[in-house]
Structure 1
Amino acid sequence: MEEFTAEKLSQYNGKNQPTPIYISVKGRVFDVTSGSSFYGPGGSYEMFAGKDASRALAKMSKNDEDISPNLDGLTEKEITVLNDWEKKFEAKYPVVGRYITC
């Protein structure tokens, strides 16, 4: 399985056509290109494209400071929300790699 650093993942942000759009959730990188109307340029979730969106999804936030793989300090409810998001991604999008922190 391919490994993605933050720098490598950032290349898959939907702005470099025809490069696919990738988002990481809980360490797994999903190809969300089929959802480009949401994650591509102009989409309501484009700020997550090419990034690990785990914390932001858990907190239901679109704030830049929350777009992070850091799950420290999340409440039990936020972890449940994140797990629900993860299930949605698993059902809709293929996993193409794993996110690694250096």
Structure 2
Amino acid sequence: MPAVLATVLAYIARYLVIKLIAAFGIAFVTGGVSAYLLTQFKDIILTQLSRAQPEAYNIMMIAGLGYALSIIFGAIAFKIALNVGKRIMMGVTGVGI
């Protein structure tokens, strides 16, 4: 009986480990892609802002607008990756995070 139980537990553990690795991989890729797209979007915004009057553009950059955009878009990318990870883990374990 213990041999059968050990075999079943090993099978379940292997299945869960494979699912977890896949879940983390998908969340990582989704986070990377969303971070890349958000960086491109930030660059477009900064390019459009650079067309403003030089004085206004310099004031915005001195005020830290570029840094603020980086923080905001980084948080959005993190939230996207977190949501994808939650949904994948829900499918793997059946328990929400």
Fold agreement, TM-score > 0.5 = no
TM-score when normalising by structure 2: 0.27
Q: Whose relative contact order is higher, 1 or 2, with alpha carbons under 8 Å and at least 6 apart?
A: 2
Name whichever structure is richer in helix by fraction.
Answer: 2
Higher gyration radius (CA): 2
TM-score when normalising by structure 1: 0.26
